[in-house]
Amino acid sequence: MILAERFPRARGWSVRGSVAWLRERPWIAVQVVILTWALIPEVRRLIDWKVGFNSISVVSVLPLLVLVPFALPFIYGKRLTKLPFPMLVLGWIWFGGFTFSLAVSVTTGNTFAALYSFAQFCLPAIFGFWVSSLSISVRDLFERVAIFMLWLATPLALYGALQFASPPPWDVTWMLYAKITSIGVPLPFQLRPFSTLNSPGIFADFLVMTIMFNLPRLRTMKPLAMGQLAFCMAVLILTMVRSDWIALVIGVVAYIIMSPQRAKNLTIMAGVVGVIAVLVMNVSALLGSSSAGSDLSTRIDTFSNLDNDVSYNERSRYWGEPLMEALESPLGQGLGVLGTAAKLGNSGTTHDFDNGYVARFTEMGYFGTLCYAAALLGALWLVLKRHRRFSRAGKIEFAAIGASVAAVQFSLLMLDVSSDHHNELSGLFFWLSLAMILGRDASQQANLLESAA
């Protein structure tokens, strides 16, 4: 009886009843998508550990496949008419650039890799459009998603810390077979933790996005949630992904400047940073390894000696010869020649490219890159405009959400300097955050303010 009361269709389950139940609780779909993206890489490693390693696994594309159903309401329904105008404009610009680049790839015979790259950039956008079309309170949705992300990030961060101290055999096997050397060796205190994600960088991205989404909750956070937030920041430092460290600082500073009750938020964040500083200074004692503390200190010291830093110099070179080569190809080389998608193309191997902006120029040429840049800058401008409107009207909760979304946008714009960060998991958070502040409910609230004015 209790089950039947909670789930009206429990006695006689039906697809229509389940869809209706989910329609009333759309945040569950959002949570399932985030959970899938966060856990599937680890599931794949466990499968590979048991049945044998495979460089191309069907399991690895499940996160993308779970986004496909969100396209159906736009293809077969009338959901497109429910999209707020700002999201619709961004969508046309985004899809215009990537469709053009997809066509260029098809003419060169690199179709399969191009389609995969197209899906990496455009399926997260479709998911964002679906969220923006929902008739649900943005405050309620944002709160539920932020809390879920924090509770998901906490065990992931714990697993990352344990992975750093004592790598599990399935993760060790994966590192050995995949020949991943850039993140250290699979020995205690000698690797950069990646938790259940595919790399330390993606894991760090997830932690940064979790922190950004939870910034509006600073004013009302209980001690447990504050501890969770501080722990996520501490593990973020353990990943030693400096670009995400910088992105976090940029995002937090942007949020504090833009948020209501700046003084209170600044005080709370200062307390959190103080706790993290104590943890970092005592990392060797806490982890029981002097090498852990020395490696971290060395990583931090590179900020004051960038000229001799190999990673920094490697990334700087992309603004030289690779950019010049991209400028010589007005149409671009087409999607799928860079990144993981290249493994499915003519080369058959992954082509790492540590600069997202130059990578887009290389693949998408002048027109595609113009569309890409217009979408990113247009999104930031729309978010700042919407935030300013809510701030002036005294809508504190909406203004805080707007400041959080702006922090996400600033962070991702910075992270694109290191590699593509508007596709796959990061792209998911890019479009999800936009859907919050530019979605139907937020747009209706903004229109009411205009009418009142």
What is the C-alpha to C-alpha distance for residues 125 and 71, in angstroms, rounded to an integer?
10
Give per-residue pLDDT as tens, 18-44: 556 666 788 899 999 999 999 999 999
Indicate the range of 15-24, 33-42, 43-52, 413-422 predicted with least confidence: 15-24
* Separation CA 133–CA 84 (nearest Å): 7
Mean per-residue pLDDT, 204-221 = 92
- pTM of structure: 0.90
C-alpha triplet 305, 309, 312: angle, nearest 5°: 110
The angle formed by the CA atoms of residues 212, 214 and 217, to the nearest 5 degrees, is 135
Residues 6+ apart with CB under 8 A from 360: 368, 369, 372, 420
Q: What is the mean pLDDT of residues 148-158?
A: 96
Predicted pLDDT of residue 1:
40
189: left (phi over 0), alpha (psi -120 to 50) or beta: left
Cα 197 → chain centroid: 12
pLDDT of 276 higher than 70: no
> Does residue 340 register a pLDDT over 50?
yes
Mean pLDDT confidence for 260-281: 68
Confidence of residue 285 (pLDDT cuts 50, 70, 90): low
Given a contact cutoff of 8 angstroms between Cβ atoms, the answer to whether 425 and 123 are in contact is: no
- Residue 9 confidence (pLDDT): 47
Q: Which residues, including other chains, have CB under 8 Å from residue 267's CB and lie 6 or more apart?
A: none
* Spatial separation of the C-alpha atoms in residues 399 and 257, rounded to whole Å: 12
Confidence class for position 180, pLDDT limits 50, 70, 90: confident
Query: Which of 182, 189, 166, 285 has its CA nearest to residue 238?
Result: 189
Q: Which residues of 13-25 are buried (b: 16+ CB within 10 A; e: fewer)?
A: eeeeeeeeeeeee
CA distance readout (Å), 4 to 16, 26, 190: 16, 20, 52
B/e letters for 407-442, b = 16+ CB within 10 Å, e = fewer, are bbbbbbbbbbbbbbbbbbbbbbbbbbbbbbbbbbbb
Q: What's the token pair of residue 290?
A: 């002097």
Instruction: Calculate mean pLDDT across residues 135-154.
Output: 93
SS (H, E, C) 373-419: HHHHHHHHHHHHHHHHHHHHCCCHHHHHHHHHHHHHHHHHHHHCCCC
Lowest pLDDT segment from 128-132, 220-224, 340-344 = 340-344
pLDDT band of 437, cuts 50, 70, 90: very high
Distance separating alpha carbons of residues 218 and 271, to the nearest angstrom: 11
Mean pLDDT of the 381-387 span: 95
- Residue 31: both structure tokens together: 């949570």
More confident: 285 or 305: 305
Of 12-26, 80-94, 178-192, which gets the smallest average pLDDT? 12-26
> Using CA atoms, how far apart are residues 131 and 129, in angstroms rounded to an integer?
5
Reduced 3-state DSSP string for 76-125: CCCHHHHCCHHHHHHHHHHHHHHHHHHHHHHHCCCHHHHHHHHHHHHHHH
The mean of the pLDDT values for the chain is 84
Tokens of 119: 């899906």
Number of structural domains (the chain) is 1
- Residue 47: strand, helix, or coil: helix
Lowest mean pLDDT among 139-148, 232-241, 244-253, 263-272: 263-272
CA count, 13 A, side-chain hemisphere, 68: 8
7 pLDDT more than 50 = no
Q: How confident is the model at residue 6 (pLDDT cuts 50, 70, 90)?
A: very low
Q: Which range of residues forms the domain containing residue 419?
A: 2-452
Euclidean distance between CA atoms 426 and 437, whole angstroms: 17
Distance CA(359)–CA(325), nearest Å, equals 11
Q: What is the pLDDT of residues 110-128, one digit of tens each?
A: 888 899 999 999 999 999 9
Structure tokens given for 107: 């003419």
